[in-house]
Amino acid sequence: MDENDALKTTLLVDDVEPVEVGPGILRRRLTATGYARAWLIDFEPGSRWPEVDVHDTEERYYVLSGEVIEGEERHPAGSYVVFAPGSRHRPRTEAGARILGITLSAV
């Protein structure tokens, strides 16, 4: 066993039990630390986040597949989106999407 093995966590994200956060939207909360928390979200086609998401800290996500729409901006697979503290948004999709997100902890 490598000494760094005790300092890391590994999991298969599809093994994490999803929770429905709104119609057609499933979130898997991934391993969190004191520095950040992560999540994987699957949007079914035509779904929209249930309310406006307001950020106390920085939030970022990477679009793994599909397309996420933020206002009039479209973010296809491969897009990396960063929101500053105090920002707000309400993502939606027409085609469906899977995103990997990270929320940084307050310092």
Report pLDDT digits (tens) over 8-33: 888 899 899 999 999 999 999 998 88
Say which CATH number the domain at 97 has: 2.60.120.10
Q: What is the percent of the chain where pLDDT is above 90?
A: 71
- Check whether 75 has a pLDDT greater than 90: yes
In a domain, 21, yes or no: no
- Check whether 81 has a pLDDT greater than 90: yes
In a domain, 36, yes or no: yes
CA dihedral 23, 68, 44, 13 (to 10 degrees): -100
In a domain, 19, yes or no: no
First and final CA of the chain: distance in angstroms? Answer: 33
Name which of 30, 25, 32, 34 is nearest 53 in CA terms.
25
In a domain, 3, yes or no: no
Q: How many domains does the chain have?
A: 1
Is pTM beyond 0.85? Reply is yes
Domain that holds residue 69: 26-104
In a domain, 76, yes or no: yes
- Check whether 107 has a pLDDT greater than 60: no
